[in-house]
Amino acid sequence: MDRPPRLFDRYRRRAAKLARSPEQLRSMLGAAAAKADGAARFSAKFAAVRCELNAFISLLRAWTSGDYRAVSTSAVITVAAAVLYFLAPLDLLPDFILGMGLIDDVAVIGYVLGAVREEVAAFERWRGEQGDADVASPNGGGWPSDGKPVGSALQPEDGDG
């Protein structure tokens, strides 16, 4: 996906405001982590990108705490916009539509991952150096040194590429 998903610019504007308020951003991250825990149980497609969403949340937590600043403001805003989009119950496909409501969230997470892959991978390398490379997904997925997510729906499967 080369272009931002529909409505994503609205979330980027909101994220830019949140980036100026670390306390509000931290509050949003807590809500996103809680929603992600429940969403993975209801949607197989979402479960496949949970690793990436968890990496986004970890990056923003480290940024708001001041522990990690080697990330561009643009990447912080883009990642925060993806998390905001995930939190919004009434987005392009409302979340209450069982089996379909998280499909647009998966697409947005995939788009953002493509846009900030190098910065998220650098963060994961830094986090590994800090001894804080917690498992980002239930299957042990994470970001190895080559910057490609493990256990991700965004990787080609055997025979696909």
Q: What is the pLDDT of residues 45-102, one digit of tens each?
A: 667 778 888 999 999 999 999 999 999 999 999 999 999 988 886 555 544 455 556 6
Alpha helices in 43-102, H assignment, sequence order: 44-65, 73-87
CA–CA separation, 105 and 81 (whole Å): 11
The sign of the dihedral angle between the CA atoms of 129, 132, 136, 139 is positive
Q: List the chain domain ranges.
A: 8-129
Q: How far apart are CA 76 and CA 57, in angstroms?
A: 10
Q: What is the pLDDT of residues 8-40, one digit of tens each?
A: 888 899 999 999 988 888 888 988 888 887 766
In this prediction the pTM is 0.73
